[in-house]
Amino acid sequence: MSGLLPLLLRRIRQTGPMTIADYMVECLIHPGHGYYTTRDPLGAGGDFTTAPEISQMFGEVIGLCLAQAWLDRGAPAPFALAELGPGRGTLMADILRATARVPGFHTAMEVHLVEVSPALRARQSETLPGAAPVWHDRVEDLPEAPLFLVANEFFDALPVRQFLRKGEGWAERVVGAQGERLAFGLTDAAPLAALAGRAADTAEGDLVEVRTAAVALAGEIGRRIAASGGAALVLDYGAWRGTGDTFQAVRGHAKVDPLESPGTADLTAHVDFEALSGAAREAGAAVTPMTPQGVFLQRLGITARAQALARRGDAHRIASEHRRLTHPEEMGDLFKGLGIHRKGDPPLPGLDP
């Protein structure tokens, strides 16, 4: 037995079953054995692929969206152009290319990347020559400046806890040990103040997911934007107040058992946009409606961009990328966009009510 499994079994024997949130943190970002800390998992040859890896059009229209928001706010200088969990750096590279001709944007910007993985930081530095990005472990470490921030498929990797409704209380789903293997278990049910708001819309046996770290982060982003201005764009799969088990593991583009070979598969759960919106609002910022990705990209002009690219050749490939990003049966409906901005400022283009 090698890797993370023996460490987790020992920990469970010493201090008892772990929450799914703790399990996710260990599996994804353990310094020596974490999935993200030790590899580049993206792309067709990797475990999963993301919108920026599918097509340059995604980052290009998002770049223009952020540049328009910057112009709408009077072109503040200097400002922080920040990305959370930049993966291979592809989205940022496309944003930078698309904004190169926006007068003043590149001279006023400082690029900041929030990334825990040394492997992916190295990859980002190769993808972004000349951008002189500054890396941070945490959002709290970003400078206090007008903030133009994007996070694509970042919040889904943050830890979630799962609770099962039992009577008036909630039992937590945990990861324990069965011999030399990991197994799911349930704690005794107890009333939880944090889930009081879910009493009315759930029934016996329903499962709900709570992502405390993500809520805190959305609050921090909201606080910064309320104080210093800017705008944030969160894109991810999820819904407005989800119910049910969405915890999943993906390896080699297929779903696998999340407890098998910990640290070797991507672990995620759907994002609850209601929780993120609420936290940003409580921190004093305004939020846009949650908008399906297909609608958002269409409003930003992705179809005209696809037509322009198709005229230069490879029209078949461009059409298929456009379909994957926008069609309701592909990524168009499952993925959502949410904008965070300062009260009184215009919402991000494409996300306005």
Q: In the bound complex, which residue of the shown chain has the CB atom lying closest to ligand SAH?
A: 85
Token readout for 191 is 């009333």
Write down the least CB distance from residue 211 to ligand SAH, Å: 12
> Which residues of this protein are in contact with ligand SAH, per CB under 6 A?
28-29, 36, 42, 50, 52-53, 85-87, 91, 114-117, 120, 152-154, 157
Question: Tokens 């340059």 sit at which residue?
Answer: 56
Comparing CB distances to ligand SAH, the nearer of 38 and 229 is 38
Residue 175 CA to residue 77 CA, distance in Å, equals: 48
Q: Which residues contact 135 (CB under 8 A, 6 or more apart)?
A: 112, 113, 114, 115, 121, 124
Residue 117 CA to residue 128 CA, distance in Å, equals: 16
Which three-class secondary structure state does DSSP give residue 3? coil
Q: Which residues contact 293 (CB under 8 A, 6 or more apart)?
A: 51, 235, 325, 326, 331, 332, 333, 334, 335, 336, 337
Comparing CB distances to ligand SAH, the nearer of 51 and 177 is 51
Write down the least CB distance from residue 42 to ligand SAH, Å: 6
Contact 177, 5 (CB under 8 A): no
Contact 215, 279 (CB under 8 A): yes
Write down the least CB distance from residue 88 to ligand SAH, Å: 6
Write down the least CB distance from residue 267 to ligand SAH, Å: 10
Comparing CB distances to ligand SAH, the nearer of 50 and 68 is 50
Contact 236, 275 (CB under 8 A): no
Comparing CB distances to ligand SAH, the nearer of 147 and 171 is 147
Write down the least CB distance from residue 24 to ligand SAH, Å: 9
Comparing CB distances to ligand SAH, the nearer of 24 and 171 is 24
Write down the least CB distance from residue 114 to ligand SAH, Å: 5
Comparing CB distances to ligand SAH, the nearer of 229 and 263 is 263
Segment (H or E) for 142: none
